[in-house]
Amino acid sequence: MYLLIGTALGVLVGVVLSRGDTSAGTLVVGAIVGATVFLFAYGLGLLLEPAFRRLPKLVSGIARALTYALGGTVGGYAGIALGRSLVLGVPLAFPSLPGFAIIPLISAAFALLVALPARAYEGMRARLSESIERLKAAEYAEKELELARAIQQRLLPPATLDGPGHALAARNVPARHVGGDFYDVFRLEDGKIGVAVADVAGKGMGAALVMATAKAVVPLLAAGRGAAATLAALNQKLRRELSPREFVAMAYATYDDDAGTLTLANAGLPEPYLLRPGRPPRPLSCPGPHYPLGIKGDVIYEEISVALEPGDRVLFLSDGLPERTGVAGEPLGYAALEQLLPLPSGVPPDECLRLLLARVDAASGGPAEDDVTLLLLERRPIAASRVGAAAESVSPSGS
């Protein structure tokens, strides 16, 4: 388009300089001059464009103007020489007649009016095209991450689960689209339930892949094993499979609905809290080493057992909650978190977690920079019918 404009403008200038001569020769020479002025100026500017981009803005603008003026001048002389040679048959040479002294001024102005705007337009169009491609790539990546997040969320159990002697609720809030935190709840062969909350080192897709691997094997390794033995077996497996900078912090517990007994082992996760009505929150600390899984081989984990009373709750959490930063950049901390933990009695666990997260948001005021996972287990009385059935099953025949 700009080449055609340049050619037409060359014809117009040729007619004006020849005092209205519209003969074929004048028109052809003008067209050749217009085309060569544009091509020389545009080509020289395109060749030097990478150098222009490295200059300061003001210097770059001056350098572009001078370059296009120079290219237009050379193109003007070359166009006249080529046109005269093709149309008039004179030998191909730069013109030297006094009448051609105005050529540099006209050619420079012509280049600045046509070739320079053409190059600026093409540059803007190229940048716009690059921006559109980047936006498309970002949109595609966003959709892929949304899909990955949906898949990851489907790997987790439902957010609320009720059993004959318990009620349970969980929250998993990744800092990015996907994260490394996870929780799991599953029924064991002996009728107990297994509860796991874990935090994989790092964030994003890498942590999410480790999370999927660890979550898949926990129920398999937990079969026939206690809490501490399950962590030891998982540690051996991850030790062989993870890189030196990858590890998994996990708290794992088994819960007996009938006895109300929680057996807990911990491999580097923050200590769960026992929330008993009318009592301050009590951290459940396991003895022995607390190495996260995958760091050190042959770790012997230890476990504790806690007898829960009806209404007692146990809160499992990853470190994303106490490390939530405030406006001043300081983490919330465990002491401040414990002040937020007393939860109202008689409120479902799911509503308790919503209330706790709202309190943390109000106390911190800063954005979540790490994944957050919470799981709240509440002991509830077992229905009388089940208790009676259980008593009959253990009574001697005929008694």
Both structure tokens of 12:
């117009």
By CB atoms closer than 10 A (0-12, 13-18, 19+), residue 40 is buried
Q: How many domains does the chain have?
A: 2
In a domain, 345, yes or no: yes
Q: Name the region of 231 (left: φ>0; alpha: ψ -120 to 50; beta: rest).
A: alpha
Asked whether 207 and 214 are in contact (CB, 8 A), the reply is: no
Q: What are phi and psi of 67, to 5 degrees?
A: -65, -45
* Whether residue 122 sits in one domain with residue 164: no
Q: Are residues 193 and 80 in the same domain?
A: no
81 shares a domain with 120: yes
Q: What is residue 366's predicted lDDT score, i.e. its pLDDT? A: 60
Produce one character per residue of 378-397: b if its CB has 16 or more CB atoms within 10 Å, e if not: bbbebeeeeeeeeeeeeeee
The secondary structure of the chain in percent helix, strand, coil, rounded to multiples of 5, reads 50, 20, 30
Flag whether 204 is in a domain.
yes
Residue 357 lies in a domain: yes
pLDDT of residue 388: 40
Report the SS3 class of residue 161: strand
Is 174 in the same domain as 126? Answer: no
Q: Is residue 147 in a domain?
A: no
- The answer as to whether 143 is a domain residue is no
**pLDDT tens for the chain, residues 1 to 399:** 666 665 665 556 655 555 666 666 667 766 776 677 777 777 777 777 778 777 787 777 677 777 766 666 776 667 667 766 777 666 655 555 444 555 565 666 655 565 556 656 666 666 677 777 777 666 655 565 565 555 555 667 788 888 889 999 999 887 665 556 889 999 999 999 999 998 887 655 666 677 777 888 899 999 999 999 999 999 999 888 887 788 899 999 999 999 999 999 999 999 999 999 989 999 999 999 999 998 888 899 999 999 999 999 999 999 888 888 766 677 888 998 999 999 888 899 999 999 999 998 888 866 666 778 999 999 998 764 344 434 333 333 333
The rounded distance, in Å, linking the Cα atoms of 5 and 114 is: 8
d(CA 110, CA 76): 9
Taking only the tens place, the pLDDT of each residue in 21-37 is 666 666 776 677 667 77
46 and 77 share a domain? yes
Residue 375: give the domain boundaries.
156-394
Same-domain check for residues 196 and 237? yes
